[in-house]
């Protein structure tokens, strides 16, 4: 299972490290200590990313961005079929869904909580394990 530092979590959430710390202090998402570092488990961060994106959408505060092509984020859902798979990535306020082969998902080791980058080319989305 992937784990993230508060700084890494902040980047995936699209907020400052101070904001991520405040959210952790307010127990909006669980953390644990590894020595002096505060860590967030991938599935917990994935669930929180979805929650933050939904809250922003409801408040219509989703930020505008000029980012094209690459959407770094965290895997929030993986649905495996016999041959195909559906992978959802929360990239800041953006939810990206990609349909790809089951084999590709397994080779990349994509699972909820894993870092990933959705790359967009025309109408195709390619997913890289970050």
**Residues in the chain, pLDDT under 50:** 61-63, 65-67
Report how far residue 82's alpha carbon sits from residue 22's, in angstroms, rounded to the nearest whole number: 42
Report how far residue 60's alpha carbon sits from residue 58's, in angstroms, rounded to the nearest whole number: 5
Predicted local confidence at residue 62, as pLDDT: 45
Specify whether the CB–CB gap between 63 and 49 falls below 8 A. Answer: no
Positive or negative, the CA dihedral 32, 1, 11, 96 is negative
H or E stretch including 13? helix 6-13
Predicted local confidence at residue 32, as pLDDT: 95
β-sheet bridge partners, residue 106:
none
Predicted local confidence at residue 70, as pLDDT: 79
pTM for this model (two decimals)? 0.62
Predicted local confidence at residue 52, as pLDDT: 86
């Amino acid at each position: 299972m992937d784990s993230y530092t508060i700084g890494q979590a902040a980047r995936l959430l699209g907020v400052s490290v101070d904001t991520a710390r405040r959210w952790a202090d307010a127990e909006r998402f669980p953390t644990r200590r590894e020595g002096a570092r505060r860590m967030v488990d991938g599935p917990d961060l994935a669930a929180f990313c979805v929650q933050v994106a939904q809250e922003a959408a409801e408040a219509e505060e989703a930020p505008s961005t000029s980012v094209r092509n690459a959407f770094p984020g965290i895997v929030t859902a993986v649905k495996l079929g016999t041959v195909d798979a559906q992978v959802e990535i929360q990239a800041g306020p953006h939810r990206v869904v990609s349909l790809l082969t089951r084999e590709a998902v397994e080779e990349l080791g994509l699972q909820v909580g894993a870092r990933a980058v959705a790359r967009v080319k025309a109408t195709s989305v390619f997913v890289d394990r970050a």
